[in-house]
A and B are shown apart, each in its own frame.
Chain A
Amino acid sequence: EVQLVQSGAEVKKPGESLRISCKGSGYIFSNYWITWVRQMPGKGLEWMGRIDPSDSYTKYSPSFQGHVTFSVDKSSSIAYLQWSSLKPSDTAMYYCATTYPYRSGSFGFWGQGTLVIVSS
């Protein structure tokens, strides 16, 4: 069974750092890109960017470039999304998704989401 399991909800203060995770199983993790998607409260889906687990090549949306960092531990099939200095506007649900199995730019499987709350 293909699964992406994300780390639990986080409550942080502005300026703090954070790393959330996304662990894949049930497929060859390194063969398919991992995408990160933001959903702010009551809003739609926003593509943040993607990482190729085979070589850690990253592509960021211009809207998120410089504010977040993607990384991956290929040996453990885990992808990470990291902030060095959180802002209240980072409060959102964050999803990881894989391009397995269809590629074609589609995201075939999604994690359950990680809720991040940034508040003083």
Chain B
Amino acid sequence: QSVLTQPPSASGTPGQRVTISCSGSSSNIETNTVNWYQQLPGTAPKLLVYGNDQRPSGVPDRFSGSKSGTSASLSISGLQSEDEADYYCAAWDDSLNGRSVFGGGTKLTVL
């Protein structure tokens, strides 16, 4: 059972906009920044969004992050076949003397 809750799956057709949610609590998302990672099949995770809504250099502006209260979301516009991957949200959690926590991951399928 992950501390951050994500839907296990999401899907969309090429060109569509897809949004993945990440639900947390007052000890993590509400008080700390949220980061998102993309894991393509068989590869290491890659930082996609940091600080709630900032994109590292090289990440297309099709990817955007937002946060409100105890929830965050990742939106992907103009969906492409190469976006098919697992997506994870992550944040610092102030409970248990502090720890970093991940969501359970969302498998995005491009139909």
Q: Do A and B come from one complex?
A: yes
| Chain A interface (Cβ < 8 Å from any Cβ of B) | 35, 37, 44-47, 49-50, 59, 61-62, 95, 97, 102, 104-113
Contacting pair B46 A62 (CB below 8 A): no
Q: B105 to A45, Cβ gap below 8 A?
A: yes
Judge if B101 is at the interface, Cβ distance under 8 Å.
Answer: yes
Query: With the chains together, A65 CA to B102 CA distance in Å?
Result: 18
Q: Which residues of B contact A (CB under 8 A)?
A: 2, 32-33, 35, 37, 39, 44-47, 50-51, 54, 56, 86, 88, 90-92, 96-105
Q: Which residues of A contact B105 (CB under 8 A)?
A: 44-45
Contact B100 A108 (CB under 8 A): no
User: Helix, strand, loop or mixed for chain B's interface?
Assistant: strand
Given A102-B54, A105-B91: A47 and B47 within 8 A (CB)? Answer: no
A113-B91 Cα distance, complex, nearest whole Å: 21
Give which listed residue, A37, A59, A102, A112, contacts B98 with CB less than 8 A: A59
CA A80 – CA B56 in complex, angstroms? 27
Closest to A111 in B: B44
Once A44-B2, A44-B88, A45-B105 are accepted as A-B contacts, the answer to whether A104 and B50 lie under 8 Å apart by CB is: yes
Give every chain B residue within 8 A of A113 (Cβ-Cβ). Answer: 44
In whole angstroms, what is the CA distance A109 to B47 when docked? 7
CA distance A45 to B37 in the complex (A): 10
Report yes or no: A62 in contact with B47, Cβ–Cβ below 8 A.
Answer: no
